[in-house]
Amino acid sequence: MTLTADTFDFVATLVRQKSAIQLERGKEYLVESRLAPLARSAGAVDVDAFVRGVRGDITKHDLVVEALTTNETSWFRDINPFTVLRTTVVPDMVGKGRRELKIWSAACSSGQEAYSIAMIIADNFPGIRTQITATDLAENMLAKGRSGEYSQLEINRGLPAPMLVKHFERTGPTFRINQQIRNSVTFRKNNLLDQPPMGGPFDIVFLRNVLIYFDVATKRDVLKRVRGAMAPDGYLFLGAAETTIGVDEAWERIQVGNSSVYKPREGK
């Protein structure tokens, strides 16, 4: 059965209200594919029937939103930002006398980004203490990140073999990241529409491949909140297709090699 317009509109409105993600017409296939497993688990005949059943049950609304939240992730995704972190950003912070770095990995999914950051700093700056706050909307993704356990398929998505050998141990069919790296990352539930998480002010923020799902007004609001949670000399990483230009002029864009970082403008 094809998803009805009424069902799609309800789901799109719910997701927009809860996460600010915009689901435009034409994304019906995405709603069906993401909600079909929930519908089967609930014993519903199809997604329409499942959504009818949860409309009046607000305790189930978060399940719908979490299912529609994109959880695409990998180790060292789009490697350039991690190269800039290692060669430019952390050395700048260390040069200013930092011996402890507070980092926010926003929309962290199942934790690969946060752990990638932790491994880079541990391997290249052993004298630096790192506190990484990793946040996401989805409780199941946060639980996965806290466990630090990943399948062979997940490990194969971008993790260099030397890092696997150095930082992971085999636990049956999965690999678990070691305690030292896990201890440097704290996972918290956080909605970017709400106040930033505890753990700041942050020296570095990774907010990558998130803003593309928001309208301009929401992008501006999110960037303002992020700026308020950062150290004045902090660095912001966005996705390759994202920018503050034309959205929030309180940021300075700095080109570093093939990548860009952003810093809060003084007095903004």
Q: Residue 71: pLDDT band by 50, 70, 90 thresholds?
A: low
Q: Where are the domains of the chain?
A: 5-68, 80-264
Q: Given this model, what pLDDT does residue 34 score? A: 83
Give yes or no for residue 249 having a pLDDT over 80.
Answer: yes
Q: What is the pLDDT of residues 196-221, one digit of tens each?
A: 999 999 999 999 998 988 889 999 99
- pTM (predicted TM-score): 0.82
Q: What is the C-alpha to C-alpha distance for residues 129 and 118, in angstroms, rounded to an integer?
A: 10
Residue from 211, 59, 91, 78 nearest 157 by CA = 78
Q: What is the C-alpha to C-alpha distance for residues 237 and 84, in angstroms, rounded to an integer?
A: 10
Mean pLDDT of 211-235: 94
Number of Cβ within a 10 Å radius of residue 131: 18
Q: Which residues contact 45 (CB under 8 A, 6 or more apart)?
A: 39
Q: What is the pLDDT of residues 102-141, one digit of tens each?
A: 999 999 989 999 999 999 999 999 999 999 999 998 888 9
Q: Residue 179: pLDDT band by 50, 70, 90 thresholds?
A: very high
Better pLDDT: 55 or 185:
185
CATH H superfamily, domain 80-264: Vaccinia Virus protein VP39 (3.40.50.150)
The hierarchical CATH code for the domain 5-68 is 1.10.155.10
Q: What is the C-alpha to C-alpha distance for residues 268 and 266, in angstroms, rounded to an integer?
A: 6
Q: What is the pLDDT of residues 13-61, one digit of tens each?
A: 888 888 877 788 888 888 888 888 888 888 888 898 898 888 888 888 8
The fraction of the chain above a pLDDT of 90, given in percent, is 61
- Report how far Cα 258 is from the mean position of its chain's Cα atoms: 22
